[in-house]
Amino acid sequence: MMNDLIPLVNKLQDVFSTIGSDTVDLPQIIVVGSQSSGKSSVLENIVQRDFLPRGNGIVTRRPLVLQLINIQNTEEEYGEFLHAPDQKFTDFGEIRREIETETARVAGQNKGISRSPINLKIYSPNVLNLTLVDLPGLTKIPIGDQPTDIEKQTRSLIYEYISKPNSIILAVSPANVDLVNSESLKLAKQVDPEGKRTIGVLTKLDLMDAGTNALEILTGRVVPLKLGFIGVVNRSQQDIVGNKPMVEALKAEAEFFKHHPAYKNIASRCGTPFLAKTLNNILMNHIRERLPDMKTRINSLITQTSQELLSYGDPTLEGKSNRGALVLKLLTKFANDFVSSIDGTASDISTKELCGGARIYYIFNNVFGAALDSIAPCGNLTTQDIRTAIRNSTGPRPFLFVPEIAFDLLVKPQIRLLEPPSLRCVELVYEELLKICHGCGSPELSRYPRLQARLLEVVSDLLREQQGPTSSYVESLISIQRAYINTNHPDFIGGGGAISDLVKKNEKKRREFEKLNRRVG
Ligand SMILES: Nc1nc2c(ncn2[C@@H]2O[C@H](COP(=O)(O)OP(=O)(O)OP(=O)(O)O)[C@@H](O)[C@H]2O)c(=O)[nH]1
């Protein structure tokens, strides 16, 4: 049962990698260390095979999710990549080349890094079930054509992985550098200040200055980590160049601890096999602890996803023969959504801001209304202008009513004042209608992006055409305005200065006018 735990999480890891989401914080071991601290060597020792790319500068440039799977009753060891599921890699040199190719494919050739992980499974009788994530090493100074912010990028990538509370941090530090300067421990401390989920690995114990040792660190007296420190000795550069077999390297490591005066008493708690066993135990216990939470989270994801699936529509309308019915259904839904946004009956109305029909109402009544109110109908017309226009249009003849020509002459420039706010109003309403249209795309419709795009195009064209009647809209405003001026302005009805002055000159006409005025009154 316990042994099934890691494969279970591996399966989840594959699922989340395939769907490109990590909405569940999975228990996993994250390997962190500065460049050349020995991360790759530790991983290769655990796998007991050479399979990781080597080279100068930053080699690991994408997260590598390494799932080790113990298989029994077989001599065969092989690897499988999630991105090439049908290919079985029995040659570990091929695995290395595939990692290099995949890294270059996504992260480019120029030493940049990418957040998208490579998932590799290694099946072997020599490994314990274990899932490790290898991350790019922390680097201080960009080399060659590396991006100048490479340190920032790497740090943020590492931070993203280790800050998840379910991850266990495997902080690799070289023993021949002062632990105070260990970048991996500094980073781990930021996200795990109490050292509850950090396990320290000390590499290069064989390279320490003569007469010095790391016993104090390994026994937890320098940096207190609940999961402890484990010392290892990996192959040196010379061993690698000389192709020293892994089995021999592991034997040499065991010998080193057994015979070292400082470490011989703790030899059973040092070295790669002990590290692998410890990690396996830690990971299993950790998964067991987190399982109930994970289950709840996954159940809620299932509910969410089922609901989302439902919103994608009726599966019976799939297929060529149902295309017409499907399009009709989508368009009807779109049209209904549009209408309900304007009516205010949409289900997702906002409580924060005006939208849909309410906003159009606001544009008409408040924005446009205020703009109209701010226009003085006779603002730049003086009594003298009116008088002159009337006189000029009647020539030598006396007049009773305002002559049509004079009225047109006077009112046209006034009416033009209404045009800018009217056009602005039309524009605002048009924008609002477009916004409503864009908000009407249901998840079901978004499955057909081309149909959706075409629909929006057609609807916005239609709406734009509605801008055409702007002039007739202005015309209807003119008639309203005309009525307003006719009834209210003293110059057009008896009692006002200009007309009454003129009328006085013709007593008979004045009386007629008064009669008329009484009738109007
Ligand atoms: N002598 C000795 N050399 C080691 C040990 N661990 C690692 N090395 C050497 O240190 C160098 C760097 O080791 P890697 O395992 O490539 O380090 P890394 O952290 O993976 O480096 P990057 O991938 O560049 O981040 C190699 O030449 C290793 O042979 C060790 O325990 N003892």
pLDDT of residue 496: 35
Q: What 3-state class would DSSP assign to 516?
A: helix
Size of the chain in residues: 521
pLDDT exceeds 90 at position 231: yes
Identity (one letter) of the amino acid at 244? K
**pLDDT band at 503, cuts 50/70/90?**
very low
Model pLDDT for residues 415-451, shown as the tens digit of each residue: 888 888 888 888 888 888 888 888 887 777 777 777 7
Whole-model pTM: value is: 0.62
Which tops the pLDDT comparison, 111 or 285? 285
Average pLDDT of the residues in 384-408:
82
First-to-last alpha carbon distance for the chain, in angstroms, is: 100
pLDDT of residue 413: 83
pLDDT of residue 395: 84
Residue 208 CA, ligand 1 centroid: distance in Å: 14
The mean predicted confidence, pLDDT, of the chain is 80
pLDDT of residue 69: 84
Among protein residues, the one with the nearest Cα to ligand 1's atom 1 is 236
pLDDT of residue 145: 65
Torsion angle defined by CA atoms of residues 503, 509, 510 and 516, in that order, rounded to the nearest 10 degrees: -120
Q: Is 27 in the pocket of ligand 1 (CB under 6 A)?
A: no
Separation of alpha carbons 477 and 470, rounded Å: 11
Query: Which secondary-structure segment (H or E) carries 134?
Result: strand 130-134
* Secondary structure string (H, E, C) spanning 430-444: HHHHHHHHHHCCCHH
Model pLDDT for residues 449-471, shown as the tens digit of each residue: 777 887 788 777 777 766 544 44
Q: Is 59 in the pocket of ligand 1 (CB under 6 A)?
A: yes
Identity (one letter) of the amino acid at 437? C
pLDDT exceeds 90 at position 200: yes
Please state the CATH superfamily assignment of the domain spanning residues 320-514 in this structure: Dynamin, middle domain (1.20.120.1240)
Q: Tell me the domain boundaries of the chain.
A: 30-290, 320-514
Model pLDDT for residues 81-120, shown as the tens digit of each residue: 988 888 999 999 999 999 999 988 888 777 778 888 899 9
Percent share of the chain, pLDDT over 70: 83
State ipTM. 0.97
Residue 156 CA, ligand 1 centroid: distance in Å: 23
Among protein residues, the one with the nearest Cα to ligand 1's atom 30 is 204
Nearest to 151 by CA among 66, 64, 57: 57
Which tops the pLDDT comparison, 486 or 132? 132
Which tops the pLDDT comparison, 323 or 334? 334
Q: Is 35 in the pocket of ligand 1 (CB under 6 A)?
A: yes
Nearest to 134 by CA among 44, 18, 238: 44
Residue 462 CA, ligand 1 centroid: distance in Å: 67
pLDDT exceeds 90 at position 230: yes
| Long-range own/partner contacts, residues 152-160 (CB < 8 A, 24 or more apart) | 153/112, 153/113, 154/58, 154/113, 155/187, 157/63, 157/113, 157/115, 158/30, 158/32, 158/187, 159/187, 159/190, 159/191, 160/115
Exposed/middle/buried for 486, CB within 10 Å: 0-12, 13-18, 19+?
A: middle
Model pLDDT for residues 22-47, shown as the tens digit of each residue: 666 778 889 999 888 899 899 998 88
Among protein residues, the one with the nearest Cα to ligand 1's atom 26 is 237
CATH numeric code, 30-290: 3.40.50.300
Nearest to 426 by CA among 371, 481, 480, 375: 371
Q: Which of 27-31, 146-150, 216-220 has the lowest mean pLDDT?
A: 146-150
Model pLDDT for residues 339-393, shown as the tens digit of each residue: 888 888 877 777 788 888 888 889 888 888 888 888 887 778 888 888 888 888 8
Q: Is 45 in the pocket of ligand 1 (CB under 6 A)?
A: no
DSSP 264: G
Q: Is 233 in the pocket of ligand 1 (CB under 6 A)?
A: yes
